[in-house]
């Protein structure tokens, strides 16, 4: 008869196909450390059951390269055909039979004990409770929750899992919870996910950077009042314990009997009891224990145990790799680690936690190791890491390089701002925390202006006010104050401040500002025909602009933007003469951009299509353009034009085209993109009325962030009517 451990080994091995048995590379899950992780056991506990299984012909071992586990080949285990037949008689406790899950749910691992905790938490969740699950690092919080999930899902629930890192913000949590283009507005996210029989999980929330703590606190405050159950997994001390409405469930160490199950049977009952008692039943500490370990004199001394019995016994290579991983803001793959020679040693010593092929030290070990560095050592390691990542060309590398540059306090401000600007195009959450960290080292107006601009992108108005209060008076500051006035609905104050600033700007800056204001005025509405009086006002102001004092390059850019604007206005007010004139001007400017000219022509054809036959022919051309177009903004613009013409009977292909937009988020650092993003969410609410509340809440949020206050108010009124 097989033991529980033997059954667990066979069940885990059976999840992998026979095809990998002869391959040079094997997944880490088939190595001894990988098996130990999934079974929740100390590695040494596997020796006897594996020997027995191999003797019975149920498994076999070989030497292979373990993916992500270093260059040295290691022992891996495979199940035989006889073993697979044996497994077919087992019940798979982790099989999910119904319900849904979203996000990267951790790999299941076997639990010892915790039945009372498991039952208590399950009852709280089913009752729709909001819970802080707290406890020391490594105490088993995540493992416990992972083992609840099959039962929760079998009850017909939807589980949404988000894991936090330093750059996690609302948008990132939303993406993990929905696996779709991120919602950023808290109300929109709550409307989408805060439904009955939804379990919303946030793990490692204490890792969130202080820059994003407040906004995530606001999310918790709102989501707790929804119909969903909420489970926040957080290491003590809890940075969100001020939030009312959450019950705290504190996870303690394993009792003596359960703790002994993690240790090898051959140790003996008395010795095993001594070990469990000395380590306070701490699961990670028990995993780290070896026969050579010296037990602490006090239960509270787990950190000292880690330092004296784990870290101090590592080789030079092991320490070097541990330092690099402990310094990194995120888990890394083996090929991303420059001092990777110790990765195998760390894995064999149960020091690492794995996310597919990425690894990082268990946070208890990471925190202990960080505490042992001097400031000089820390700075030198950051400098070394920055140099390494500077040689790699990728978005991820740019982020990590900049992170290390800042923390080494070795950066040139203007170059740093350029790097953060580039990062912001793809991930404003990361850019936001980097600029905040930089200000701690060098508090300058230029850095704070950049912090303000990033906060505008993210619609974080309290943060904007805070930074502006720290900046000396200047046109740059006052123009941003005017933007804030406009967003808050104080248009008169905004205009007054803008007029004051304009006199202090260069001719080129003045032209750019006035053009941006004209474009914003045109865009500041939900999709509908523009008011004729507003159209005439904009056209009159266009004609009043004076280009005499600006360079040829600036004039070219200005004329391109204004002719595009005039063409759009002309189509809106059915002035085909003006449309034709603008088209002629644009043909000269865009002579080498046939795609752009084609888009203009198709939009004109859509605007004048009066018969269904003509419209169908035009839509066929529009469909071909959308499928072939290489420019994201042009593609979206054309889709929106087609949606306007075809509503409410949208063709299926057009709905599918719009849905695909959300697989590739738009840039966040440019106003035109932010306005287009707001319009995307508006149309998403039109196309998918089931989720209209959530999608239009997000659209309102993004219209305000794009300084389109009128559009936001119009849509809010429409939303109120539709509810």
- Residue 12 confidence (pLDDT): 87
Of all helices (H) and strands (E), which one includes residue 355? strand 352-355
By the 8 A CB rule, do 304 and 275 touch?
A: no
pLDDT tens-place string over residues 632-689: 889 999 999 999 988 888 999 999 999 988 777 788 778 888 899 999 999 999 999 9
pLDDT tens-place string over residues 604-632: 998 887 656 667 788 999 999 999 998 88
pLDDT tens-place string over residues 197-242: 999 999 999 999 999 999 999 999 999 999 999 999 999 888 898 9
Among 192, 200, 198, CA closest to 220: 200
pLDDT tens-place string over residues 131-185: 999 998 889 999 999 999 999 998 899 999 999 999 999 999 999 999 887 789 9
By the 8 A CB rule, do 527 and 644 touch?
A: yes
Among 268, 259, 193, 203, CA closest to 227: 193
Mapping DSSP to helix (H, G, I), strand (E, B) and coil, where does residue 61 land? strand
pLDDT tens-place string over residues 56-110: 999 999 988 888 877 788 888 999 999 899 888 886 544 545 678 999 888 777 7
pLDDT tens-place string over residues 592-603: 788 889 999 998
pLDDT tens-place string over residues 392-415: 999 999 999 999 999 999 999 999
- Residue 722 confidence (pLDDT): 79
- Residue 514 confidence (pLDDT): 92
pLDDT tens-place string over residues 255-274: 999 998 888 877 888 898 99
pLDDT tens-place string over residues 288-302: 888 888 888 776 678
Among 50, 93, 64, 117, CA closest to 41: 50
pLDDT tens-place string over residues 476-527: 899 999 999 988 888 899 999 998 988 888 899 999 999 999 999 999 999 8
pTM score over 0.85: yes
Radius of gyration of the chain (CA): 30
pLDDT > 90? residue 701: yes
Other Cβ atoms less than 10 A from the Cβ of 687: the count is 18
Give the distance between the most distant pair of CA atoms in the chain.
96
Using CA atoms in the order 281, 284, 285, 287, what is the torsion angle rounded to 10 degrees? 100
What is the average per-residue pLDDT within 550-555?
Answer: 90
- Residue 33 confidence (pLDDT): 87
- Strand 332-333, strand 358-361: pairing: antiparallel
């Amino acid at each position: 008869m097989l033991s529980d451990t033997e059954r667990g080994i066979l069940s885990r091995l059976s999840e992998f196909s026979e095809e990998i048995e002869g391959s040079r590379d094997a997944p880490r899950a088939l190595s001894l450390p990988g098996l130990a992780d999934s079974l929740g056991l100390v590695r040494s506990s596997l020796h006897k059951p594996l020997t027995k299984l191999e003797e019975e012909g149920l498994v076999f071992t070989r030497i292979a390269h373990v993916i992500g586990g270093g260059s040295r080949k290691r022992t891996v285990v495979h199940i035989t055909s006889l073993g697979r037949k044996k497994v077919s008689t087992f019940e798979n406790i982790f099989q999910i039979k119904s319900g849904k899950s979203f996000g990267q749910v951790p790999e299941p691992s076997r639990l010892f004990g915790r039945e009372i905790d498991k039952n208590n938490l399950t009852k709280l969740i089913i009752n729709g409770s909001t819970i802080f699950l707290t406890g020391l690092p490594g105490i088993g919080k995540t493992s416990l929750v992972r083992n609840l999930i099959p039962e929760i899902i079998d009850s017909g629930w939807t589980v949404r899992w988000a894991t936090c890192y330093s750059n996690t913000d609302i948008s990132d949590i939303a993406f993990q919870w929905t696996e779709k283009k991120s919602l950023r507005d808290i109300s929109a996210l709550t409307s989408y996910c805060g439904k009955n029989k939804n379990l919303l999980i946030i793990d490692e929330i204490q890792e969130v950077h202080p820059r994003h703590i407040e906004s995530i606190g606001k999310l918790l405050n709102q989501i707790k009042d929804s119909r969903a159950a909420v489970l926040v997994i957080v290491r003590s001390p809890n940075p969100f314990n001020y939030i009312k409405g959450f019950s705290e469930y504190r996870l303690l160490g394993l009792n003596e009997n359960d703790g002994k199950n993690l240790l090898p049977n051959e140790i003996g009952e008395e010795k095993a009891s001594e070990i469990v008692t000395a380590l306070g039943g701490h699961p990670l500490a028990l995993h780290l224990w070896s026969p050579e370990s010296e037990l602490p004199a006090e239960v509270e001394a787990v950190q000292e145990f880690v330092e004296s019995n784990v870290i101090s016994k590592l080789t030079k290579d092991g320490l070097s790799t541990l330092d690099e991983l402990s310094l990194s803001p995120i888990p890394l793959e083996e090929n991303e680690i420059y001092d990777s020679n110790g990765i195998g040693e760390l894995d064999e010593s149960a020091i690492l936690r794995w996310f597919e092929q990425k690894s990082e030290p268990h946070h208890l070990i990471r925190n202990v190791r960080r505490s042992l560095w001097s400031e000089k050592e820390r700075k030198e390691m950051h400098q070394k890491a920055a140099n390494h990542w500077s040689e790699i060309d990728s978005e991820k590398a740019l982020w990590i390089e900049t992170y290390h540059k800042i923390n080494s306090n070795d950066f040139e401000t203007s170059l740093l701002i350029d790097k953060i600007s580039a990062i912001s195009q793809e991930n404003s959450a990361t850019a936001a925390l980097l600029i905040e960290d930089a200000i701690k080292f060098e508090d300058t107006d230029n850095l704070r202006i950049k912090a303000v601009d990033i906060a505008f992108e993210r619609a974080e108005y309290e943060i904007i006010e805070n930074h502006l209060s720290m900046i000396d008076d200047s046109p740059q500051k006052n123009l941003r104050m005017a933007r804030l006035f406009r967003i808050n609905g104080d248009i008169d104050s905004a205009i007054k401040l803008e007029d004051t600033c304009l006199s202090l700007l260069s001719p080129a800056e003045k032209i750019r500002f006035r053009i941006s204001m004209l474009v914003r005025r045109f865009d500041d509405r939900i999709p509908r025909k523009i008011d004729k009086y507003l159209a005439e006002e904009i056209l009159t102001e266009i004609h009043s602009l004076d280009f005499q004092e600006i360079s040829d390059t600036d004039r070219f850019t200005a004329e391109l933007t204004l002719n595009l604007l005039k063409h759009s206005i002309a189509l809106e007010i059915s002035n085909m003469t003006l449309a034709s004139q603008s088209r002629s001007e644009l043909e000269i400017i865009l002579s080498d951009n046939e795609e752009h000219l084609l888009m203009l022509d198709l939009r004109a054809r859509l605007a004048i299509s009066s018969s269904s036959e003509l419209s169908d022919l035009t839509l066929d051309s529009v469909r071909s353009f959308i499928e072939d177009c290489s420019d994201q903004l042009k593609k979206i613009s054309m889709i929106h034009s087609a949606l306007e013409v075809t509503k409410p009977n949208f063709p299926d292909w057009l709905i599918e085209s719009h849905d695909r937009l959300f697989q590739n988020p738009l840039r966040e650092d440019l106003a035109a993109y932010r306005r287009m993003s707001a319009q995307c969410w508006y149309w998403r609410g039109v196309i998918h009325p089931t989720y209209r509340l959530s999608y239009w809440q997000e659209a309102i949020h993004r219209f305000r962030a794009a300084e389109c206050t009128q559009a936001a108010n119009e849509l809010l009124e429409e939303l109120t009517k539709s509810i």
